[in-house]
Amino acid sequence: MISIDDIAAFCRRRGFVYPNSEIYGGLAGIFDYGPVGVELKNNIKKEWWKFHVQSREDTVGIDGSIISHPKIWKASGHSDSFEDIMVEDSKTKELFRADLLVEEFLKESMDGKTREELWKLIQQHKIKSHKGNELSKPKGFNLMFSTDVGPKNPIKAYLRPETAQLIFTNFKLITENSRLKLPFGIAQIGKAFRNEIAARNFLFRCREFEQMEIEYFTKPKETKCKFINEVEDYKLKIYSAEMQEKGSPEIEMTIKQALSKKIFKNEWHAYWLATEHKWFISLGINKDNLRIRQHNRKELAHYSSDCWDLEYKFPFGFKEVEGIADRSDYDLKQHIEHSKKDLSLFDDELKQKIVPYVVAEPSLGVDRAFLIFLFEAYEYNKERENVVLKLHPKLSPIKVGIFPLVKNKPQIVKKAREVYDFLKNEFVCDYDDSGSIGRRYSRQDEIGTFLGCTIDFETLKDKSVTLRDRDTTKQIRVKIDELKEIIKKLINEEIKFEKAGKLIK
């Protein structure tokens, strides 16, 4: 597998992601997305929204603000306790996140460990900084960025460290506007900001990033999921808290088996874990590289009865890509208490007001998802002597590269322009006429362009073009009239490439 530094260099070279403010020396943990990066990122968000919101009757979406009233963060607990624990290299003064440093050393999760516990472990195991120097006593550091709102007597506000809270504060209006009946979900995609102690590993840990989150609400303490039969036979790698305690590896099993072994406390939680896992698989992630890991008791937030992470096998080990927590009625109750507003719902069956439970909060970072789709797609092809980025066609930044075979024959150029104009409103296309056709193919392969469409002398005679498949380099001849339909079916995996036209190579 390619290393994280090499993927960062590849992203910069090919226009996926740039280090922010590079001409001024850069700003750690902040990144800009380049021309093909923004297309890939938008496609990830589009696919997530389609799958989680538009194709579900029980879910609606919102787009909350980045800056909001500071009382929100008081109620949620973030302004008092959203902190990480840091230690300092006594000589170089470099800062480290204490839990991650100890974790690296002891090779076990340190999630949920207190300052004192981490300090004990540092002393007990004589843990040093990366440079081999003594470490300072751990200190807490609040991760929220603050700002001033208004010119006179400004209010100290925060940039949101997660998108979720806006769903709770708007809960009453959303449910009324959308006539939602439990169970239902409210989803959101948006920026979040965390002043991470040590922003490392490229997009994995940034200070400005995006999240795609759902709060899924049910009646209090409801455990039976009405969709469970959709996922019962679904198989995935499960790494429960008990397996971790016993030191045994993760086990592949079906949701049904895990439920019968009481690994999940709640069918709803099981349903959401399988659903999130399925989404990644549907977009080309290899099953072997994913597992779900349960938090142990110490890692759990005090209000959470169960929490699982969907983890991906990065070059630096299995790490969280998405958290799926059971948050009970904690957040709504906190906002009821702090705002003194009624955020309960009337339950027609129980004939009383209830405060719904968040039985699952799937929370996925867009940038981490972007990174794993790249890791999965990246392949250096020895025969072709270039990188082939085998992204799922739905995610490919450019769907079709349009290539006139030669650029000095006006009839070919005219026809190629016609094909480009014909396709560009439907698919993201790139008109590329510079260099040899082989050079153009490999340039597009590197950025994951799904299909190459070459306009040649034959095209002038029979109104057909050559379509080339990025992954296999197979080529078919297709009539221009049928191009749109065929490309659409290929992107949606409704037909096999070889069957889509007359195979010529």
Site membership for ligand ATP, residue 364 (CB under 6 A): yes
Residue from 59, 294, 363, 464 binding ligand ATP (CB under 6 A): 363
The span from the CA of 379 to the CA of 392, in Å, is 13
**Please, what is the minimum distance in Å from the beta carbon of residue 367 to ligand ATP?**
5
Site membership for ligand ATP, residue 83 (CB under 6 A): no
Site membership for ligand ATP, residue 365 (CB under 6 A): yes
Q: Select from 57-65, 203-211, 352-360, 401-409 the region that touches ligand ATP (CB under 6 A).
A: 203-211
DSSP reduced 3-state for 190: strand
Q: In which residue are the tokens 């839990």 written?
A: 99
Site residue total, ligand ATP (CB under 6 A): 16
Q: Which is nearer to ligand ATP, 160 or 194 (CB)?
A: 194
Q: Select from 3-11, 271-279, 315-323, 394-402 the region that touches ligand ATP (CB under 6 A).
A: 315-323
**Percent helix, strand and coil across the chain, each to the nearest 5:** 35, 30, 35
Residue from 209, 217, 308, 312 binding ligand ATP (CB under 6 A): 209
Tell me the residue nearest to ligand ATP as measured from the CB.
Answer: 365
The span from the CA of 467 to the CA of 402, in Å, is 10
Residue from 215, 306, 329, 367 binding ligand ATP (CB under 6 A): 367
**Please, what is the minimum distance in Å from the beta carbon of residue 375 to ligand ATP?**
14
Residue from 47, 104, 117, 196 binding ligand ATP (CB under 6 A): 196
Site membership for ligand ATP, residue 299 (CB under 6 A): no
Beta bridge partners of 317: 314
Residue from 51, 313, 323, 495 binding ligand ATP (CB under 6 A): 323
**Please, what is the minimum distance in Å from the beta carbon of residue 368 to ligand ATP?**
4
Q: Which of these, 5, 65, 74, lies nearest to 331 by C-alpha position? A: 74
What DSSP element (H or E) covers 413? Answer: helix 410-423
Site membership for ligand ATP, residue 41 (CB under 6 A): no
x/- mask, ligand ATP, residues 165-194, rule CB under 6 A, reads -----------------------------x
**Please, what is the minimum distance in Å from the beta carbon of residue 72 to ligand ATP?**
16
The span from the CA of 354 to the CA of 240, in Å, is 32
Q: Which is nearer to ligand ATP, 95 or 228 (CB)?
A: 95
Phi-psi region of 202 (alpha: psi -120 to 50; beta: other; left: phi over 0): left
The span from the CA of 456 to the CA of 479, in Å, is 13
Which long-range contacts does 250-258 make (Cβ < 8 Å, 24+ apart)? Answer: 250/291, 250/293, 255/228, 255/231, 256/232
x/- mask, ligand ATP, residues 121-160, rule CB under 6 A, reads ----------------------------------------
What DSSP element (H or E) covers 122? Answer: helix 115-124
**Please, what is the minimum distance in Å from the beta carbon of residue 192 to ligand ATP?**
7
DSSP reduced 3-state for 316: coil
Q: Which of these, 217, 220, 226, lies nearest to 267 by C-alpha position? A: 226
Note the helical H segments in 247-339: 255-260, 267-282, 330-339
Those residues whose C-beta lies under 8 Å from the C-beta of residue 205, and which sit 6 or more positions away, are 29, 196, 198, 199
Those residues whose C-beta lies under 8 Å from the C-beta of residue 112, and which sit 6 or more positions away, are 295, 296, 298, 299, 300
What's the DSSP call for residue 288?
G
Residue from 129, 163, 211, 475 binding ligand ATP (CB under 6 A): 211
Q: Select from 116-124, 151-159, 285-293, 321-329 the region that touches ligand ATP (CB under 6 A).
A: 321-329
Q: Which is nearer to ligand ATP, 321 or 416 (CB)?
A: 321
Q: Which is nearer to ligand ATP, 157 or 366 (CB)?
A: 366
**Please, what is the minimum distance in Å from the beta carbon of residue 161 to ligand ATP?**
8
Site membership for ligand ATP, residue 368 (CB under 6 A): yes
**Please, what is the minimum distance in Å from the beta carbon of residue 29 to ligand ATP?**
7
Q: Which is nearer to ligand ATP, 306 or 320 (CB)?
A: 320
Alpha carbon 99 to chain centroid, angstroms: 23
For residue 371, the tally of other CB atoms under 10 A from its CB is 23
Site membership for ligand ATP, residue 206 (CB under 6 A): yes
Q: Which is nearer to ligand ATP, 207 or 392 (CB)?
A: 207
Phi-psi region of 303 (alpha: psi -120 to 50; beta: other; left: phi over 0): alpha
Site membership for ligand ATP, residue 470 (CB under 6 A): no
The span from the CA of 246 to the CA of 439, in Å, is 54
Site membership for ligand ATP, residue 163 (CB under 6 A): no
**Please, what is the minimum distance in Å from the beta carbon of residue 180 to ligand ATP?**
24
* Binding residues vs ligand ATP (CB under 6 A): 162, 194, 196, 205-206, 209, 211, 320-323, 363-365, 367-368
